[in-house]
Amino acid sequence: MDAGLAAVLGATVGALGTGATGLAAALLSRNTARHQVKAESMRALRDSRRATYLAFAETHERYLDLLSTTLTPLGRVERFPDQREEWIEKAHKRWDQALKYRQNEVQKIRVVLSLDATRPVADAALEVTEKCTLLSGATRHAIEALKGQALDTGPLTPPLPGYIELLVDAGLDPAAPDLHVLQSRAQDAYKAFLRTAADAVGENGLLPSG
């Protein structure tokens, strides 16, 4: 092989090597960019879901608090017969506040969560909804029995279809279910939602400290 041919071949191999290196670099760069875009998309999705789960948790914590405040005056109706009517009206007023909160804030965040949640979180949220609705419905029935008249539930229909069956399945007396048992089960469902949501976003940021 003469010097001229060797020079030409050397230049050709060098060019091919440079081209291959450039192609590999371009492919690597594109792959890296693709992974970055995917990672950013996943982070944005996780942040969106975290915000939705947190909003659901905060809203239902408030809703449970409002329902729970209704139980205090109900428990005092029989203990203080001289103030019976006053305690019944206080229970009715607090239940009505919880109802209005449910009609506005609770219903709104439930719709948002149904669009954004993973299946495990959606199932946990449904359990919270069911337990809260049972507590609200049983409380309503207790107040109605004391007042001797039906309460206005606004545009919302009365409790879940199969309300009586759900109480029976839960081992409760459908005519007079234990409100404190229903309260405890609603709180347990809420805590289970927190754990499920925290697992879904891969952090414990949704769990209460301590």
**124-148 pLDDT tens trace:** 999 999 999 899 999 999 999 999 8
Query: Which residue reads 């409380």 in tokens?
Result: 139
Q: Determine, yes or no, domain membership for 100.
A: yes
Global pTM value? 0.74
Q: Is residue 102 part of a domain?
A: yes
Domain that holds residue 79: 49-201
Distance CA 86, CA 90 (A): 6
The region of weakest confidence among 1-5, 26-30, 69-73, 130-134 is 1-5
For the chain, the domain total comes to 1
Between 121 and 11, the higher pLDDT residue:
121
Q: Give domain status of residue 39, yes or no.
A: no
| pLDDT recorded at residue 57 | 95
Query: What own/partner pairs with CB < 8 Å and gap ≥ 24 does 95-99 have?
Result: 95/67, 95/70, 95/136, 95/139, 95/140, 95/143, 95/151, 96/151, 97/66, 98/63, 98/66, 98/67, 98/69, 98/70, 98/136, 99/136, 99/153, 99/154, 99/156
Question: Is 209 among the domain residues?
Answer: no
Express as a percent the part of the chain with pLDDT over 70.
72
Task: Give the residue with greater pLDDT, 21 vs 51.
Answer: 51
CATH code at position 106? 1.20.120.30
The overall average pLDDT reported for the chain is 81
Give a yes or no: residue 112 inside a domain.
Answer: yes
Report the distance separating Cα 68 and Cα 194, nearest Å.
19
- pLDDT for position 165: 83
pLDDT at residue 171, rounded to an integer? 87
Query: Does position 4 have pLDDT exceeding 60, yes or no?
Result: no
Structure tokens at 18: 């440079």
Assess if residue 25 is contained within a domain: no
**Model confidence at 11, in pLDDT bands (50, 70, 90)?**
low
pLDDT in tens, 45-96: 678 889 999 999 999 999 999 999 999 999 999 889 899 999 999 999 999 9
pLDDT of residue 170: 82
Amino acid at 136: S
| The pLDDT of residue 2 | 59
Contacting residues for 193 by C-beta, under 8 A, at least 6 apart:
56, 57, 60, 121, 124, 125, 127, 128
The token duo for 103 is 């009609």
Q: Rounded to whole angstroms, how far apart are CA atoms 18 and 22?
A: 6
